[in-house]
Structure 1
Amino acid sequence: MELRVLRYFLAVVQEKNITKASEKLLISQPALSKQLSDLENELGAQLFIRGHRQITLTSEGEYLRSKASEIVDLADKTTANILTDQVIGGDLTIGAGESVGMKRIIDVMGNINRDYPDVKVHLISGDANEMESKLNSGTLDFAVFMGERDLSDFNYLQIPEIDQWGVIMRQDAPLAAKKSVTSKDLLGLPILISSQAKTNNRFDNWWGNLGPKMNIMGTFTLAFNAELLVESSHSYMLTFDHLLSDNDSKVLTFRPLEPKITEPITVVWKKNTVLSKVDQLFVKRLRASLNE
């Protein structure tokens, strides 16, 4: 597969119409159609269902769309970093979930962008498994892991902040009167839990023998959206401290778990890889922030 053809493919996916895509790409419609047919022949799979006015992707087309986006983004990022190798410029891309530790990391990113305006910063949200996959594929420069994780394949810096687990609930909820929440307190209540914590069985020890009796009503990946559900459904959300915005804190409140559960926060990057100048600067400034 040629990078040029993947760009053609993504343009067609975006426009959902070969004629519109050809106009955007400044190539003829027959030439674009032939490039797409050749791509399908090369892969041995149908990528599009061609309708009268609009095309839709097959399952194979959807798979290629996700991979092609990663490949093109990586190519563009590599080109930008090479072209700006003599100065501090290019892209700085960091993937992470929501955490109190992100303030330190974002402060470092912001200071770099202020001092070197040619640096473009990108924040990608997701859980640790997604971030590790993107880090290994090269579409991320750094990932931020919350919690214990095998770091043998990475270089890393552990930052001093920690995430503390607790429960977000409405301020008028009965449990809001307590200073902390035990597993027994949550019995029979509708609970939201992060997808990663559920997959990793993070609370099995904390639940103890009450685990099978817990009412897990759903899971979430982004705390902000889950907080809206807590507000409307009077449910209880297991998440980290410091994730409530000023507006949310007028309706919702946080109580820590008892016994306490905390998670370390670690910034990681791939071993045996040459860091760009902007990546080196990020590591240098992040390390310096740890000594302040």
Structure 2
Amino acid sequence: MDEKDWLILRTIHEEGSITKASEALFMSQPALTKRIQLLEHDFKVKILSRSRKGITFTSEGEYLVKYSSQMLSRLNETKDHLVNMKSNSLQGTLKIGVSINYAYNILPGVLKQFSKHFPKIKTKITSGYSNEMIDLFKQKKFHIAIARGDFIWEGPRHHIDSDYICIVSKEKIKFELLPELPRLIYKTDTSLTRILDDWWKDHFDHPPFIASEVDNSQTCFEMVTQGLGFAIMPRFCIKTFKDLYVENIYWKNGDLLMRDTWMIYREEDLDLSAVREFISFMDDNNQSFISKKIY
């Protein structure tokens, strides 16, 4: 079983038919069928079951598909790693895990400039909640993670930005009336949710009146602009300040409520030229990207 077999099994599984798989692989159907028959003979198991409804993988076939996908992934990672290790070769694939809001607001500009300097370096970007990105980074799914908030990481980290947390509403509101007013909340990572809960308890004895809960900050912001309630969110998430009431919030001791953004990586990955260059690029140019935020 070799790379070609791995690719055949994965493609048949993805396409759901021999016909579509043969077209995707630029192979004839008889040649593809023959290859499957040889694999079945070598492993002495049935890989595919055929019926009028089409093909399905047997349990043994599903196992081989999973194995094939893993092997193709490992092979690609090995190829990328070897290319990246060449000190005089600024190419390869850079894998970055990024918090949703940073990916939405800042990352496109970063990648545009980075690609101008290093056109042969490919980037593979995964975005999500910061806690999810940190977990995946620790599983070595990425070379670099850009995440927001407080988290445990004993390796190297670079500070990217500090962001104010604020109240945003259509009309000016009195602070002491917040528990009585409709609040809009959105799904976010656990660290920010915890901070906002702690801040609320620091100031009020009663829970907020939650008028609506949505699945992302952009929708929440748009609902605020329609006067459906107030929200508490990082300024990072506010697309415009026009015709809105926006006020930074403080802890009871007078400290501003803020949230940091960090870039983290592993020391051993500095052997990879793409990783080294991206970190250096961010250190040299980060402030120019941050200064373009709407404040």
Distance 1:183 1:47 in 2: 67
Partner of 2:178: 185
Bigger CA radius of gyration: 2
Q: Over residues 176-235 of structure 1, what are the superposed CA-to-partner deviations in whole Å (9 max), with x where a residue is unaligned?
A: 324xx7485154524223331478522222111546454274353x43344455567925
Partner of 1:244: 238
1:126 Cα offset (Å): 0.6
1:149–1:51 distance in 2 versus 1, CA, 3 Å: farther
Return the letter of the residue paired with 1:11. T
Q: Larger deviation: 209-218 or 85-94? A: 209-218
Distance 1:53 1:202 in 2: 53
1:15–1:201 distance in 2 versus 1, CA, 3 Å: same
Partner of 2:218: 224
Distance 1:279 1:102 in 2: 22
Distance 1:49 1:257 in 2: 64
Q: What secondary structure, in the 3-state scheme, does the structure 2 residue paired with 1:92 have?
A: strand
Q: Larger deviation: 5-14 or 258-267? A: 5-14
1:79–1:100 distance in 2 versus 1, CA, 3 Å: closer
1:225–1:140 distance in 2 versus 1, CA, 3 Å: farther
Return the letter of the residue paired with 1:19. T
1:127 Cα offset (Å): 1.2
Partner of 2:121: 119
Distance 2:41 2:248 in 1: 57
Distance 1:48 1:188 in 2: 61
Q: Larger deviation: 18-27 or 259-268? A: 18-27
1:281 Cα offset (Å): 1.1
Q: Give the TM-score normalised by the residue count of structure 2.
A: 0.68
1:147–1:52 distance in 2 versus 1, CA, 3 Å: same
Distance 2:78 2:177 in 1: 52
Q: Over residues 59-117 of structure 1, what are the superposed CA-to-partner deviations in whole Å (9 max), with x where a residue is unaligned?
A: xx7xx87x987874564354135236341112223221244698776655433311221
1:88–1:182 distance in 2 versus 1, CA, 3 Å: farther
What fraction of aligned residue pairs are identical, expressed as a percent? 14
Matches for 1:1-292 after TM superposition, within 5 Å: 7-25=7-25, 26=27, 27-29=31-33, 31-32=35-36, 52-53=53-54, 72=72, 75-83=75-83, 85=86, 86-99=88-101, 108-152=110-154, 154-159=155-160, 161-169=161-169, 171=170, 176-178=171-173, 182=175, 184-197=177-190, 201-208=194-201, 209-210=204-205, 212-215=207-210, 217-220=212-215, 222-228=216-222, 234-245=228-239, 254-259=246-251, 260-289=256-285
Distance 1:17 1:233 in 2: 51
1:264–1:214 distance in 2 versus 1, CA, 3 Å: same
Asked if 1 retains the 8 angstrom alpha-carbon contact of 2:184 and 2:224, the reply is no
Distance 2:130 2:41 in 1: 37
Distance 2:265 2:163 in 1: 21
Distance 2:8 2:231 in 1: 44
Q: What secondary structure, in the 3-state scheme, does the structure 2 residue paired with 1:201 have?
A: helix
Q: Over residues 233-286 of structure 1, what are the superposed CA-to-partner deviations in whole Å (9 max), with x where a residue is unaligned?
A: 92544332133346xx66876543344421111100124445311111112222
Number of residue pairs matched? 273
Q: What secondary structure, in the 3-state scheme, does the structure 1 residue paired with 2:145 have?
A: strand
1:225–1:91 distance in 2 versus 1, CA, 3 Å: farther
Q: Which ranges of structure 2 fall in alignment gaps of 5 or more residues?
A: 289-295
